[in-house]
Structure 1
Amino acid sequence: MGTVASFWLMGFSGIGESHSLIPPWFSVSNIPSLHPDDSQNSQKGFSPSIQTLVVTPDGVVYAGSFGMGLFRSQDKGKSWEPLNRGLTDPFLLCLAVIPGKHIYAGTMRGGIYRLELKGTTWESIGTGLHESEVKSFLVHQDVVYAGTGTGVYRWVEAEKQWVTVGAGLDRILVPGLAIMDDGKLLAATSGKGLFHLETQHSPPSTWVDSQSVFVDPRERLPHRYLRVIAVNEAQHIFLGTQDGGIFTSTDRGHSWSSLSRNLPNDSIRSIVPDHKDVIVATGNGIFRWKNDQQKWMDMNTGLTNLAIQSLTRSNAGELYAGTSSGAFRSQDGGAHWTNISQGLGIQLVPKGPYE
């Protein structure tokens, strides 16, 4: 007979609190059987899907989960603490940090929340948004931009609200944002391709202008369903698609070429430029494009879950990967990974003896 056990599910809504963050649809019947000697479940818990990761300049790691809210680690993932007091939507899709000030969280249906880096309680700052689903953030010179299902917004601190940036994207989902060194704002959309907004002749404080219109670049980008975007130091643009691989432009978006040949998976979840190379997180692992060799290299040693949801790099060079069940860290450029999921997610407390 199979092993049978009963468990209490423990969720946490904030420091020092134990109110449940378990979503209503979470069913105990969906939990697989556990055995005390099961090494894969040695943490006596289930780690959530880590949809977004961000690292502050001083090395503090924030992990945004899908259904369990936000977790913070001040020791490179060795331990985690939940930070969810005041966060009414625990389904996080994106994070952004203004060093020394705030962390911003974009959610699936609750808009945007903000937390002081030394604080413990979130505040909702969704005023001005026309869409509660927030897919992406961009921080430039302490200005926060948000990509939503109704275009791009900018946070105006003096007015305590979000204002629309440009025109033409009011009904378009924007899952990725980036900015060039000349101030050109790039918006990767789902279904409409890449757009850019010329802003080099105006300071950021005056970008909210009804005459500013997002312009579709040359029709050489063959894939319109985009998911992520990144720009490296050489101003090369990288675009990750939902299921069409990755494309790059070395001439600021005027022409595009595919880097997807021999890439094992075409679902691109995150892009991390690394000098002349680029590292991508996919639905089936992490890979590095070696520019000097013109080929992809596998970077999955130590990963026990290849369904990668997010990838980021710290100022010190560590890589952090979020998967569909927990997080991993690499201290050697992705050659080897260590599971750092201890403390993430739901704690399972045995209710009675195993039978």
Structure 2
Amino acid sequence: MTTYRSDRPANGCGEARQEEKVEPSKQQGILAFIFCLFTLTVLAVSGLPLAAERPPQQHGLAPPESQPRTVPSIQALTVVGTRTVFAGSFGLGVFRSDDRGGTWSPVNAGLTDPFVLCLATAEDGTVYAGTFRAGVFRSQDGGKSWHALNAGLKHLEIKTLLIVGGVIYAGTGDGVYRLSGTDGQWTVVTKGLDETLVHTLARGADGTLFAGTSGKGVMRYRATGSEWKRLSHGLVDHEGLGENFIRVLAMDKEQGLYAGTFDGGVFRSGDGGQTWRPISRALPNDSIRGIVASEKGLFVATGRGIFKSQNQGRQWTALNHGLTELSVQVLIATGGGALYAGTSSGVFRSDDDGMNWVTISEGLQGVSESPFK
């Protein structure tokens, strides 16, 4: 009779070893059970996790690591003036720099969710933060204190914020909401995007609002209209499949509209979204995380670095010198000509149109635990 026995009790940790003529023993089974029970008890008493508790993964956004990163993943950036920069991290809240990223300090008083997905700055310097689980927060004192601003919101996952004059638009898990300076609560921007996750927003010079969604592609709402309209003609990836998951939208000075997708590259529309054409076939990565359309060219952030085109996507040039972390999460340009890139490991800045990058994570490094308890 042949039986199998592990070098260790039967807890899935040892390799089976074949032995000849060994009869089964009830005592061995009892001992194995006691050993496993003892192990589980020790883990529970010690506080060690039996399974990692993480926020759910949402639409391509990775959950935080079970152990804090040395440098946090930066999901959002915004600039006030020419020197003050705010960075929103996934797990450690908001950081502020007053020297163009030279040094950083956490500014989280009143912010109840450390998972910051978007930031936006109003003309008066007020900063708004959209979070993963707790809605919108506003700071009117440079980040020293934050206050929740959620009246009227149905879902509190805020993926994007867009400020136009005195009006704030929020892309949420339940469509698009609007808040003006005189209103006390958010109101939904018509119907048609109910229960739809909106990742990104853009606004045309004529007031037309565009929304990039999960599942419905690009949607358009005219200022004189009464409903959202889907814009999908030509929005097809290289395999012939419809691109319904839009991560980022941007507009150039000619009112050309760009759509960056989760895994289908970049598309451009020159007629307000009526028709689209792919412009990123030459890019080595189709996961688009950020788009900056300026007079200097078209800059695109991907999962493999940053690329630039000066002919609407016919040719692309890699701009990764000094960019030691190629997993870029957000890309912005400032009025002073600088580019800032938030990555999975901190922030980088370029002062020469992306030709060279320097890491600017002093104060972000060495964070060993979250300030949120």
Q: Same fold (TM over 0.5)?
A: yes
Q: Hey, what does 1:322 align to over in structure 2?
A: 342
Q: Identity of aligned pairs, percent?
A: 45
**1:256: Cα distance to partner?**
0.9
Q: In the aligned structure 1, how far is the partner of 2:304 from the partner of 2:142?
A: 36
Q: Between Structure 1 and Structure 2, whose CA radius of gyration is higher?
A: 2
Structure 1 residue 196 and structure 2 residue 211: aligned? no
Structure 1 residue 139 and structure 2 residue 163: aligned? yes
Q: Hey, what does 1:7 align to over in structure 2?
A: none
Alignment of 1:125-204 (within 5 A): 125-199=149-223, 201=224
Q: Hey, what does 1:46 align to over in structure 2?
A: 70
Q: In the aligned structure 2, how far is the partner of 1:300 from the partner of 1:320?
A: 13
Aligned length: 304
**1:293: Cα distance to partner?**
8.4
1:144 aligned counterpart, secondary structure: strand
Q: In the aligned structure 1, how far is the partner of 2:358 from the partner of 2:100?
A: 11
Q: In the aligned structure 1, how far is the partner of 2:201 from the partner of 2:145?
A: 27
Tell me: CA distance 1:245–1:27, structure 2 relative to 1, closer, same or farther (3 Å). closer
- Aligned structure 1 segments of 4 or more residues deviating by more than 4 angstroms: 23-31
Q: In the aligned structure 2, how far is the partner of 1:230 from the partner of 1:98?
A: 18
Q: Hey, what does 2:277 align to over in structure 1?
A: 257
Structure 1 residue 306 and structure 2 residue 344: aligned? no
Alignment of 1:11-22 (within 5 A): none
Tell me: CA distance 1:292–1:266, structure 2 relative to 1, closer, same or farther (3 Å). closer
1:296-329 residue CA offsets vs partner (Å, 9 max, x unmatched): 1000000111010011011101000011011100
Paired letter, 2:235: L
Tell me: CA distance 1:117–1:59, structure 2 relative to 1, closer, same or farther (3 Å). farther
**1:119: Cα distance to partner?**
5.4
RMSD of aligned C-alpha atoms? 2.3
1:122-154 residue CA offsets vs partner (Å, 9 max, x unmatched): 000111111110001111112110000100001
Tell me: CA distance 1:322–1:28, structure 2 relative to 1, closer, same or farther (3 Å). closer
1:333 aligned counterpart, secondary structure: coil
Asked if the contact 1:289–1:297 (Cα under 8 Å) also holds between the matched residues in 2, the reply is yes
Q: In the aligned structure 1, how far is the partner of 2:143 from the partner of 2:286?
A: 40
Q: Hey, what does 2:135 align to over in structure 1?
A: 111
**1:161: Cα distance to partner?**
1.1
Asked if the contact 2:221–2:229 (Cα under 8 Å) also holds between the matched residues in 1, the reply is yes
Structure 1 residue 289 and structure 2 residue 309: aligned? yes
Structure 1 residue 216 and structure 2 residue 230: aligned? yes
Asked if the contact 2:96–2:143 (Cα under 8 Å) also holds between the matched residues in 1, the reply is no
Q: Hey, what does 1:9 align to over in structure 2?
A: none
Asked if the contact 1:176–1:227 (Cα under 8 Å) also holds between the matched residues in 2, the reply is yes
Q: In the aligned structure 2, how far is the partner of 1:310 from the partner of 1:70?
A: 15
Q: Hey, what does 2:90 align to over in structure 1?
A: 66
Paired letter, 1:228: V
Tell me: CA distance 1:149–1:67, structure 2 relative to 1, closer, same or farther (3 Å). same
**1:58: Cα distance to partner?**
3.4
Structure with larger RCO (C-alpha < 8 A, sep 6+): 1
1:278 aligned counterpart, secondary structure: strand
TM-score between both structures, scaled by the size of structure 2: 0.77
Asked if the contact 1:226–1:241 (Cα under 8 Å) also holds between the matched residues in 2, the reply is yes
